[in-house]
């Protein structure tokens, strides 16, 4: 029997985004594209993510947000950096955090896991996975 964890699901979704982006960059490069794909991690941003949690958690978040959470504007800075910085232009497959290239979790570099996620995503949305057959 499995129990559902909202934080676990959130973490899995973020890992999937990183895996998917790395695979996308691999395919773009293999096909000679000049388009790039990068992962942007805004950090912990004060958003509505905790909207539906127990009231005690909301109170703790409210009391500590100023210390531990970024404002939405601060959280957007790395996304803006990725879009317009000459330092990132032409660079793909990067993990960007606090306007710097950094390393993601080791599991995110597992190329077989990236491929499996890509293949399953294609299957789920009903599109051909020709890219994996070509590589």
What does the mean pLDDT of the chain come to? 88
Q: Looking at the whole model, is its pTM more than 0.85?
A: no
Q: Using CA atoms, how far apart are residues 21 and 110, in angstroms rounded to an integer?
A: 12
Report whether 46 contacts 72 (CB < 8 A): yes
Q: Tell me if residue 95 is catalytic.
A: no
Q: Is the predicted pLDDT of residue 127 greater than 80, yes or no?
A: yes
Q: Is the predicted pLDDT of residue 58 greater than 80, yes or no?
A: no
Q: How confident is the model at residue 38 (pLDDT cuts 50, 70, 90)?
A: very high
Indicate the SS3 state at residue 102. strand
* Active-site pick, 10, 22, 50, 97: 10
Whether domain 6-134 has CATH 3.40.50.720: yes
Q: Where in the chain are the domains?
A: 6-134
Percent of the chain with pLDDT over 90: 61
Helix or strand run (H / E) with residue 60? helix 55-68
Rounded to 5°, angle at Cα 51 from 45 and 53: 110
- Ramachandran class of 121: left when φ > 0, alpha when ψ lies in -120 to 50, beta otherwise: alpha
Q: Is the predicted pLDDT of residue 134 greater than 70, yes or no?
A: no
Give the per-residue pLDDT at 131.
63
Q: Using CA atoms, how far apart are residues 55 and 94, in angstroms rounded to an integer?
A: 38
pLDDT in tens, 60-82: 777 777 777 888 898 899 999 99
């Amino acid at each position: 029997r499995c129990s559902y964890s909202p934080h676990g699901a959130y973490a899995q979704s973020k890992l999937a985004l990183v895996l998917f982006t790395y695979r996308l960059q691999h395919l773009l490069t293999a096909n000679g594209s000049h388009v790039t794909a990068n992962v942007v991690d805004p950090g912990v941003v004060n958003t509505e993510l905790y909207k539906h949690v127990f009231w005690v958690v909301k109170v703790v978040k409210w009391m500590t947000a100023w210390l531990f959470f970024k404002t939405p504007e601060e959280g957007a800075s790395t996304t803006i950096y990725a879009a317009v910085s000459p330092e990132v232009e032409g660079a793909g497959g990067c993990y960007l955090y606090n306007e710097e290239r950094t390393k993601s979790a080791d599991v995110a570099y597992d190329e077989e896991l990236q491929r499996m996620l890509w293949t399953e995503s294609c299957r789920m949305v009903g599109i051909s996975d020709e890219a994996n057959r070509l590589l």
